[in-house]
Amino acid sequence: MRLKAYLRGGGLASHLRLKNNENSIRYEYYLISSICWRSCSLKIVVTGGAGFIGSHLCARLLEDGHSVLCVDNLLTGSEQNIDSLHNNPRFTFLQHDVTHPFSFEADAIFHLASPASPIGYMEHPIETILVNSQGTYQMLEQARKQKALFLFTSTSEIYGDPLVHPQREDYWGNVNSIGPRACYDESKRLGETLTMEYYRQYQINARIVRIFNTYGPNSQADDGRMIPNFITQALQNESLTIYGDGNKTRSICYVSDLVEGLLLALFKPYTTGEVFNLGNTEEHTVLEYAQTIIRLCNASSPIVFESSRIDDPERRRPDITKAQRMLGWQLKVSLEDGLRRTIEWFSTQMSQLSSVRS
Ligand code: NAD
Protein backbone atom coordinates (compact mmCIF):
# COMPACT_ATOMS: atom_id res chain seq x y z
CA MET A 1 0.00 0.00 0.00
CA ARG A 2 1.38 3.44 -0.93
CA LEU A 3 1.72 5.57 2.13
CA LYS A 4 0.49 8.86 0.65
CA ALA A 5 -2.65 7.21 -0.78
CA TYR A 6 -3.22 5.59 2.61
CA LEU A 7 -3.00 8.96 4.27
CA ARG A 8 -5.35 10.62 1.80
CA GLY A 9 -7.86 7.83 2.27
CA GLY A 10 -7.93 8.18 6.07
CA GLY A 11 -7.09 4.77 7.57
CA LEU A 12 -4.81 5.00 10.56
CA ALA A 13 -4.44 8.72 9.84
CA SER A 14 -8.04 9.46 10.78
CA HIS A 15 -7.45 7.96 14.22
CA LEU A 16 -4.35 10.02 14.68
CA ARG A 17 -5.63 13.34 13.35
CA LEU A 18 -5.79 15.73 16.27
CA LYS A 19 -6.07 19.10 14.58
CA ASN A 20 -6.73 19.73 10.93
CA ASN A 21 -3.69 21.87 10.26
CA GLU A 22 -0.49 21.43 8.29
CA ASN A 23 1.65 20.53 11.31
CA SER A 24 -0.62 17.83 12.63
CA ILE A 25 -0.89 16.24 9.18
CA ARG A 26 2.89 16.31 8.86
CA TYR A 27 3.18 14.77 12.31
CA GLU A 28 0.74 11.98 11.42
CA TYR A 29 2.52 11.35 8.18
CA TYR A 30 5.89 10.98 9.88
CA LEU A 31 4.36 8.86 12.63
CA ILE A 32 2.78 6.49 10.13
CA SER A 33 6.04 6.25 8.14
CA SER A 34 7.75 5.19 11.33
CA ILE A 35 5.05 2.73 12.30
CA CYS A 36 4.62 0.97 8.97
CA TRP A 37 8.06 1.08 7.31
CA ARG A 38 8.43 -2.66 7.74
CA SER A 39 4.98 -3.42 6.27
CA CYS A 40 4.20 -0.60 3.76
CA SER A 41 5.76 -0.10 0.38
CA LEU A 42 7.34 3.34 0.49
CA LYS A 43 8.83 5.42 -2.33
CA ILE A 44 12.43 5.93 -1.36
CA VAL A 45 15.14 7.99 -3.04
CA VAL A 46 18.78 7.01 -2.51
CA THR A 47 21.31 9.54 -3.78
CA GLY A 48 24.72 7.99 -4.38
CA GLY A 49 22.90 4.67 -4.80
CA ALA A 50 25.43 3.32 -7.31
CA GLY A 51 28.24 3.68 -4.80
CA PHE A 52 29.54 1.16 -2.29
CA ILE A 53 27.13 1.74 0.64
CA GLY A 54 24.30 3.07 -1.55
CA SER A 55 24.14 -0.11 -3.65
CA HIS A 56 23.73 -2.25 -0.50
CA LEU A 57 21.10 0.13 0.82
CA CYS A 58 19.12 0.01 -2.47
CA ALA A 59 19.26 -3.81 -2.44
CA ARG A 60 18.06 -3.97 1.17
CA LEU A 61 15.18 -1.51 0.57
CA LEU A 62 14.01 -3.55 -2.43
CA GLU A 63 14.22 -6.74 -0.35
CA ASP A 64 12.01 -5.02 2.24
CA GLY A 65 9.37 -4.32 -0.45
CA HIS A 66 9.95 -0.61 -1.12
CA SER A 67 10.27 1.20 -4.46
CA VAL A 68 13.69 2.73 -4.95
CA LEU A 69 14.83 5.61 -7.13
CA CYS A 70 18.62 5.50 -7.21
CA VAL A 71 20.13 8.82 -8.30
CA ASP A 72 23.82 8.91 -9.09
CA ASN A 73 26.10 10.73 -11.53
CA LEU A 74 28.63 7.84 -11.39
CA LEU A 75 31.44 10.18 -10.31
CA THR A 76 32.91 7.55 -7.98
CA GLY A 77 30.22 4.86 -8.21
CA SER A 78 29.65 2.22 -10.83
CA GLU A 79 26.70 0.78 -12.71
CA GLN A 80 28.12 -2.65 -12.00
CA ASN A 81 27.20 -2.19 -8.33
CA ILE A 82 23.51 -1.99 -9.26
CA ASP A 83 23.50 -4.43 -12.21
CA SER A 84 21.63 -7.09 -10.27
CA LEU A 85 18.91 -4.61 -9.18
CA HIS A 86 17.74 -3.65 -12.67
CA ASN A 87 15.50 -6.69 -13.09
CA ASN A 88 13.43 -5.61 -10.08
CA PRO A 89 10.41 -3.58 -11.37
CA ARG A 90 10.48 -1.48 -8.18
CA PHE A 91 14.00 -0.23 -8.99
CA THR A 92 14.73 2.86 -11.12
CA PHE A 93 18.14 4.33 -11.88
CA LEU A 94 18.56 7.98 -12.81
CA GLN A 95 21.98 9.23 -13.86
CA HIS A 96 21.95 12.77 -12.53
CA ASP A 97 24.11 15.23 -10.60
CA VAL A 98 22.13 16.04 -7.44
CA THR A 99 23.62 19.52 -7.18
CA HIS A 100 21.17 20.41 -9.97
CA PRO A 101 17.42 20.51 -9.28
CA PHE A 102 15.21 17.66 -10.42
CA SER A 103 11.77 16.54 -9.36
CA PHE A 104 10.65 13.23 -7.97
CA GLU A 105 8.10 11.81 -5.55
CA ALA A 106 9.37 10.41 -2.28
CA ASP A 107 8.26 9.31 1.16
CA ALA A 108 11.88 9.20 2.31
CA ILE A 109 15.28 10.38 1.09
CA PHE A 110 18.65 8.87 1.98
CA HIS A 111 21.25 11.41 0.87
CA LEU A 112 24.53 9.51 0.41
CA ALA A 113 25.93 11.15 -2.73
CA SER A 114 29.51 12.26 -2.15
CA PRO A 115 32.97 10.91 -2.90
CA ALA A 116 34.01 9.15 0.31
CA SER A 117 37.59 7.92 -0.02
CA PRO A 118 40.62 10.22 0.28
CA ILE A 119 41.56 9.41 -3.33
CA GLY A 120 37.98 10.13 -4.45
CA TYR A 121 37.60 13.48 -2.75
CA MET A 122 41.14 14.71 -3.35
CA GLU A 123 40.67 14.00 -7.07
CA HIS A 124 37.27 15.80 -7.01
CA PRO A 125 37.54 18.42 -4.24
CA ILE A 126 35.15 21.00 -5.74
CA GLU A 127 32.56 18.36 -6.68
CA THR A 128 32.80 17.05 -3.10
CA ILE A 129 32.20 20.49 -1.61
CA LEU A 130 29.28 21.09 -3.96
CA VAL A 131 27.51 17.77 -3.46
CA ASN A 132 27.63 18.09 0.34
CA SER A 133 26.48 21.73 0.31
CA GLN A 134 24.45 22.46 -2.85
CA GLY A 135 23.42 18.80 -3.26
CA THR A 136 22.28 18.61 0.37
CA TYR A 137 20.34 21.85 -0.08
CA GLN A 138 18.56 20.43 -3.15
CA MET A 139 17.59 17.26 -1.28
CA LEU A 140 16.46 19.17 1.81
CA GLU A 141 14.26 21.38 -0.38
CA GLN A 142 12.67 18.25 -1.85
CA ALA A 143 12.19 16.79 1.64
CA ARG A 144 10.53 20.03 2.73
CA LYS A 145 8.17 20.23 -0.26
CA GLN A 146 7.20 16.57 -0.12
CA LYS A 147 7.18 16.13 3.64
CA ALA A 148 9.58 13.26 3.17
CA LEU A 149 11.74 11.74 5.87
CA PHE A 150 15.39 12.77 5.34
CA LEU A 151 18.73 11.26 6.34
CA PHE A 152 22.11 12.90 5.67
CA THR A 153 25.14 10.63 5.71
CA SER A 154 27.93 12.52 7.40
CA THR A 155 31.23 11.03 8.44
CA SER A 156 33.58 10.42 11.35
CA GLU A 157 35.91 12.80 9.45
CA ILE A 158 33.94 15.71 10.91
CA TYR A 159 35.80 14.90 14.18
CA GLY A 160 39.11 15.52 12.31
CA ASP A 161 42.10 14.29 14.28
CA PRO A 162 40.12 13.83 17.50
CA LEU A 163 41.45 14.96 20.87
CA VAL A 164 38.73 12.97 22.65
CA HIS A 165 38.55 9.22 22.50
CA PRO A 166 36.25 7.44 21.71
CA GLN A 167 34.21 10.09 19.88
CA ARG A 168 30.72 10.84 21.13
CA GLU A 169 28.17 12.79 19.10
CA ASP A 170 28.57 15.84 21.37
CA TYR A 171 32.32 16.16 20.60
CA TRP A 172 32.87 19.11 18.23
CA GLY A 173 36.04 17.82 16.57
CA ASN A 174 39.53 19.01 15.71
CA VAL A 175 39.51 19.80 12.01
CA ASN A 176 42.03 21.50 9.72
CA SER A 177 39.90 23.79 7.57
CA ILE A 178 42.53 24.37 4.87
CA GLY A 179 44.24 20.99 4.48
CA PRO A 180 43.78 18.57 1.56
CA ARG A 181 41.01 16.71 3.43
CA ALA A 182 39.07 19.88 4.25
CA CYS A 183 36.99 19.66 1.05
CA TYR A 184 35.41 16.55 2.55
CA ASP A 185 35.49 17.22 6.30
CA GLU A 186 34.30 20.82 6.10
CA SER A 187 31.64 20.22 3.44
CA LYS A 188 30.21 17.37 5.52
CA ARG A 189 30.15 19.75 8.49
CA LEU A 190 28.26 22.30 6.37
CA GLY A 191 25.89 19.53 5.20
CA GLU A 192 25.18 18.80 8.87
CA THR A 193 24.55 22.51 9.56
CA LEU A 194 22.16 22.80 6.62
CA THR A 195 20.29 19.69 7.76
CA MET A 196 19.88 21.05 11.29
CA GLU A 197 18.71 24.46 9.99
CA TYR A 198 16.05 22.81 7.82
CA TYR A 199 14.98 20.84 10.87
CA ARG A 200 14.83 23.99 13.03
CA GLN A 201 13.43 26.43 10.43
CA TYR A 202 10.99 24.18 8.59
CA GLN A 203 10.49 21.30 11.07
CA ILE A 204 11.43 18.77 8.41
CA ASN A 205 11.85 15.22 9.65
CA ALA A 206 15.65 15.03 9.29
CA ARG A 207 18.50 13.25 11.04
CA ILE A 208 22.26 12.92 10.58
CA VAL A 209 24.30 9.76 10.67
CA ARG A 210 28.08 9.96 11.13
CA ILE A 211 29.46 6.88 9.43
CA PHE A 212 32.78 5.46 10.61
CA ASN A 213 34.99 3.26 8.39
CA THR A 214 32.84 0.71 6.60
CA TYR A 215 33.95 -2.19 4.44
CA GLY A 216 32.47 -5.00 2.34
CA PRO A 217 31.67 -6.08 -1.23
CA ASN A 218 31.22 -3.35 -3.89
CA SER A 219 33.94 -1.17 -2.42
CA GLN A 220 36.43 0.05 -5.03
CA ALA A 221 39.70 -1.84 -5.27
CA ASP A 222 41.67 1.28 -6.18
CA ASP A 223 40.17 3.90 -3.86
CA GLY A 224 43.15 3.84 -1.50
CA ARG A 225 41.20 2.70 1.58
CA MET A 226 42.87 0.32 4.00
CA ILE A 227 40.76 -2.84 3.61
CA PRO A 228 40.45 -2.92 -0.22
CA ASN A 229 44.19 -2.07 -0.45
CA PHE A 230 45.27 -4.86 1.89
CA ILE A 231 42.94 -7.46 0.37
CA THR A 232 43.88 -6.80 -3.26
CA GLN A 233 47.58 -6.78 -2.34
CA ALA A 234 47.33 -10.00 -0.30
CA LEU A 235 45.29 -11.82 -2.98
CA GLN A 236 48.13 -11.13 -5.43
CA ASN A 237 50.78 -12.04 -2.86
CA GLU A 238 52.16 -8.50 -3.16
CA SER A 239 53.54 -6.54 -0.21
CA LEU A 240 50.96 -4.80 1.96
CA THR A 241 51.59 -1.05 2.27
CA ILE A 242 51.12 0.58 5.66
CA TYR A 243 51.27 4.38 5.85
CA GLY A 244 53.00 5.20 9.15
CA ASP A 245 54.39 2.71 11.64
CA GLY A 246 51.27 0.53 11.80
CA ASN A 247 50.30 1.65 15.31
CA LYS A 248 47.48 3.96 14.24
CA THR A 249 44.18 2.35 15.20
CA ARG A 250 41.03 1.88 13.17
CA SER A 251 37.62 0.34 13.82
CA ILE A 252 35.70 -0.99 10.84
CA CYS A 253 32.05 -1.89 10.36
CA TYR A 254 30.67 -4.47 7.94
CA VAL A 255 28.34 -2.88 5.39
CA SER A 256 25.18 -4.89 6.19
CA ASP A 257 25.39 -3.77 9.83
CA LEU A 258 25.80 -0.17 8.71
CA VAL A 259 22.79 -0.41 6.38
CA GLU A 260 20.63 -1.75 9.22
CA GLY A 261 21.70 1.28 11.29
CA LEU A 262 20.75 3.68 8.45
CA LEU A 263 17.26 2.14 8.24
CA LEU A 264 16.73 2.35 11.98
CA ALA A 265 17.98 5.94 12.10
CA LEU A 266 15.54 7.00 9.36
CA PHE A 267 12.45 5.10 10.39
CA LYS A 268 12.53 4.77 14.17
CA PRO A 269 10.36 7.34 15.94
CA TYR A 270 12.01 10.09 18.03
CA THR A 271 15.07 10.29 15.74
CA THR A 272 14.13 13.66 14.20
CA GLY A 273 16.84 16.29 14.71
CA GLU A 274 19.21 13.68 16.15
CA VAL A 275 22.79 12.79 15.24
CA PHE A 276 24.01 9.20 15.46
CA ASN A 277 27.46 7.68 15.20
CA LEU A 278 27.36 4.37 13.35
CA GLY A 279 30.46 2.20 13.33
CA ASN A 280 32.24 -0.63 15.04
CA THR A 281 33.77 -0.11 18.46
CA GLU A 282 36.28 -2.95 18.13
CA GLU A 283 39.60 -1.17 17.71
CA HIS A 284 42.72 -2.69 16.13
CA THR A 285 46.01 -1.33 14.90
CA VAL A 286 46.53 -1.04 11.16
CA LEU A 287 49.30 -3.62 11.53
CA GLU A 288 46.85 -6.10 13.10
CA TYR A 289 44.43 -5.66 10.16
CA ALA A 290 47.28 -6.30 7.72
CA GLN A 291 48.34 -9.46 9.56
CA THR A 292 44.74 -10.78 9.80
CA ILE A 293 44.13 -10.23 6.07
CA ILE A 294 47.40 -11.96 5.14
CA ARG A 295 46.31 -14.95 7.25
CA LEU A 296 42.75 -15.09 5.87
CA CYS A 297 44.05 -14.86 2.27
CA ASN A 298 46.63 -17.62 2.96
CA ALA A 299 49.17 -15.16 1.57
CA SER A 300 52.87 -14.82 2.29
CA SER A 301 53.01 -11.10 1.53
CA PRO A 302 55.61 -8.98 3.32
CA ILE A 303 54.51 -5.71 4.98
CA VAL A 304 56.15 -2.44 3.91
CA PHE A 305 55.93 0.87 5.73
CA GLU A 306 55.64 4.26 4.01
CA SER A 307 55.35 7.76 5.47
CA SER A 308 51.99 8.78 6.97
CA ARG A 309 49.46 10.63 4.83
CA ILE A 310 48.74 14.29 5.66
CA ASP A 311 46.07 14.76 8.37
CA ASP A 312 45.55 10.99 8.68
CA PRO A 313 44.10 10.60 12.20
CA GLU A 314 45.97 8.58 14.83
CA ARG A 315 42.92 6.98 16.37
CA ARG A 316 39.30 6.66 15.41
CA ARG A 317 36.67 4.81 17.37
CA PRO A 318 32.99 5.69 17.72
CA ASP A 319 31.01 5.81 20.89
CA ILE A 320 27.78 4.13 19.70
CA THR A 321 25.93 4.13 23.02
CA LYS A 322 23.32 6.54 21.63
CA ALA A 323 22.56 4.39 18.54
CA GLN A 324 22.35 1.28 20.73
CA ARG A 325 20.05 2.98 23.23
CA MET A 326 17.76 4.92 20.88
CA LEU A 327 17.77 2.69 17.81
CA GLY A 328 18.37 -0.69 19.41
CA TRP A 329 21.19 -1.06 16.86
CA GLN A 330 23.42 -4.11 17.31
CA LEU A 331 26.41 -5.24 15.28
CA LYS A 332 25.91 -8.76 13.97
CA VAL A 333 28.87 -9.50 11.69
CA SER A 334 32.18 -10.38 13.35
CA LEU A 335 35.44 -8.98 11.97
CA GLU A 336 36.65 -12.35 10.65
CA ASP A 337 33.29 -13.16 9.06
CA GLY A 338 33.06 -9.75 7.39
CA LEU A 339 36.64 -9.93 6.16
CA ARG A 340 36.08 -13.44 4.75
CA ARG A 341 32.98 -12.28 2.82
CA THR A 342 34.87 -9.26 1.49
CA ILE A 343 37.91 -11.31 0.49
CA GLU A 344 35.65 -13.76 -1.34
CA TRP A 345 34.01 -10.92 -3.27
CA PHE A 346 37.34 -9.30 -4.23
CA SER A 347 38.73 -12.68 -5.21
CA THR A 348 35.76 -13.30 -7.59
CA GLN A 349 36.12 -9.80 -9.06
CA MET A 350 39.82 -10.25 -9.64
CA SER A 351 39.44 -13.66 -11.30
CA GLN A 352 36.64 -12.32 -13.56
CA LEU A 353 38.89 -9.42 -14.53
CA SER A 354 41.83 -11.68 -15.33
CA SER A 355 39.67 -14.06 -17.40
CA VAL A 356 38.38 -11.05 -19.44
CA ARG A 357 41.98 -9.93 -20.03
CA SER A 358 43.31 -13.36 -21.07
P1 NAD B 1 31.05 5.92 -2.92
O2 NAD B 1 32.01 6.87 -3.53
O3 NAD B 1 31.21 4.47 -3.21
O4 NAD B 1 29.55 6.34 -3.24
C5 NAD B 1 29.15 7.68 -3.36
C6 NAD B 1 28.27 7.79 -4.59
O7 NAD B 1 27.85 9.14 -4.74
C8 NAD B 1 28.98 7.39 -5.87
O9 NAD B 1 28.23 6.42 -6.55
C10 NAD B 1 29.06 8.68 -6.67
O11 NAD B 1 29.05 8.48 -8.06
C12 NAD B 1 27.86 9.44 -6.14
N13 NAD B 1 27.94 10.88 -6.31
C14 NAD B 1 28.96 11.71 -5.99
N15 NAD B 1 28.65 12.98 -6.30
C16 NAD B 1 27.40 12.95 -6.83
C17 NAD B 1 26.52 13.94 -7.34
N18 NAD B 1 26.88 15.25 -7.39
N19 NAD B 1 25.30 13.56 -7.80
C20 NAD B 1 24.93 12.26 -7.78
N21 NAD B 1 25.73 11.27 -7.30
C22 NAD B 1 26.94 11.62 -6.84
O23 NAD B 1 31.11 6.16 -1.34
P24 NAD B 1 30.49 5.30 -0.15
O25 NAD B 1 31.61 4.70 0.58
O26 NAD B 1 29.40 4.45 -0.63
O27 NAD B 1 29.90 6.48 0.75
C28 NAD B 1 28.51 6.82 0.75
C29 NAD B 1 28.28 7.95 1.74
O30 NAD B 1 28.68 7.52 3.05
C31 NAD B 1 29.06 9.21 1.42
O32 NAD B 1 28.27 10.33 1.70
C33 NAD B 1 30.22 9.15 2.39
O34 NAD B 1 30.68 10.43 2.73
C35 NAD B 1 29.62 8.43 3.59
N36 NAD B 1 30.65 7.73 4.37
C37 NAD B 1 31.20 6.56 3.93
C38 NAD B 1 32.17 5.93 4.69
C39 NAD B 1 32.81 4.62 4.29
O40 NAD B 1 33.58 4.05 5.08
N41 NAD B 1 32.52 4.08 3.13
C42 NAD B 1 32.59 6.52 5.91
C43 NAD B 1 32.02 7.73 6.28
C44 NAD B 1 31.04 8.32 5.53
Confidence band (pLDDT; 50, 70, 90) for 10? very low
Of 111, 194, 188, nearest in space to 155 by CA: 188
Residue predicted with more confidence, 315 or 234: 234
Phi, psi torsion values for 276, nearest 5 degrees: -125, 135
Lowest-confidence segment of 14-18, 95-99, 108-112 by average pLDDT: 14-18
CA of 2 to the centre of ligand 1 (A): 29
Tell me what percent of the residues of the chain surpass a pLDDT of 70.
89
pLDDT score of 24 more than 60: no
The per-residue pLDDT of the chain, averaged, comes to 90
Give the pLDDT score at 312: 77
- Is the pLDDT confidence value at 310 over 80? no
Q: What is the largest CA-CA distance in the chain?
A: 69
pLDDT in tens, 105-128: 999 999 999 999 999 999 999 999
Quick check: 8 pLDDT over 50?
A: no
**pLDDT more than 90, % of the chain:** 80
Residue 97 has pLDDT above 90, yes or no: yes
The pLDDT score that the predictor gives to residue 222 is 85
Residues serving a catalytic function are 184
Distances (CA, A) of 328 to 152, 259, 280, 331: 20, 14, 15, 10
Residue 28 has pLDDT above 60, yes or no: no
Whole-number Å distance, alpha carbon 189 to ligand 1 midpoint, is 15
At 56, which helix (H) or strand (E)?
helix 52-63
pLDDT of residue 34 exceeding 70, the answer is no
pLDDT of residue 357: 66
Q: What is the pLDDT of residue 189?
A: 98
Q: How far is the CA of 262 from the centre of ligand 1 (A)?
A: 14
163 CA → ligand 1 middle, Å: 26
At 29 the pLDDT is 56
Binning pLDDT at 50, 70 and 90, where does residue 142 land?
A: very high
Residue 55 has pLDDT above 50, yes or no: yes
Does residue 124 sit within a domain?
Answer: yes
Q: CA 293, 218, 33 angle in degrees (round to 5)?
A: 120
15 has a pLDDT exceeding 50: no
pLDDT greater than 60 at residue 241: yes
Residue 233 lies inside a defined structural domain of this protein: no
Where residue 224 falls among pLDDT bands split at 50, 70, 90? confident
Residues 6+ apart with CB under 8 A from 299: 234, 235, 237, 293
| 178 lies in some domain | yes
77 touches ligand 1 (CB under 6 Å): yes
Report the residue among 45, 211, 219, 254 best suited for mutation to probe ligand 1: largest number of ligand atoms under 8 A from its CB: 211
Count other C-beta atoms under 10 Å from residue 237's C-beta.
13
In a domain? residue 50: yes
pLDDT tops 50 at residue 271:
yes
Half-sphere exposure of 122 (CA within 13 A, CB side): 13
3-state per-residue secondary structure call for 288-299: HHHHHHHHHCCC
- Asked whether residue 357 is domain-assigned, the answer is no
Per the rule left: phi > 0, alpha: psi between -120 and 50, beta: everything else, 168 is: beta
C-alpha torsion 111→209→6→25, nearest 10: -100
Confidence of residue 283 (pLDDT cuts 50, 70, 90): very high
CATH number for the domain including 270? 3.40.50.720
- Residues near 145 by Cβ (< 8 Å), separated by ≥ 6? none
What whole-number distance in Å separates Cα of residue 162 and Cα of residue 238?
Answer: 33
Q: Which atom of ligand 1 is nearest to the CA of 225?
A: 40
What are the DSSP calls for 130-157, one per residue?
Answer: HHHHHHHHHHHHHHHHHT-EEEEEEEGG
* Residue 259 placed within a domain: yes
Look up the domain containing 117 and give its range.
41-214+254-281+318-333
Q: Is residue 101 part of a domain?
A: yes
Does a structural domain hold residue 286?
Answer: no
Q: Give the residue whose CA is nearest to atom 21 of ligand 1.
A: 72
Ligand 1 atom with the shortest distance to the CA of 156: 43
What domain count does the chain have? 1
Taking residues 67-86, what's their average pLDDT?
A: 97
What pLDDT was estimated at residue 161?
87
In angstroms, the CA 336 to CA 342 distance is 10
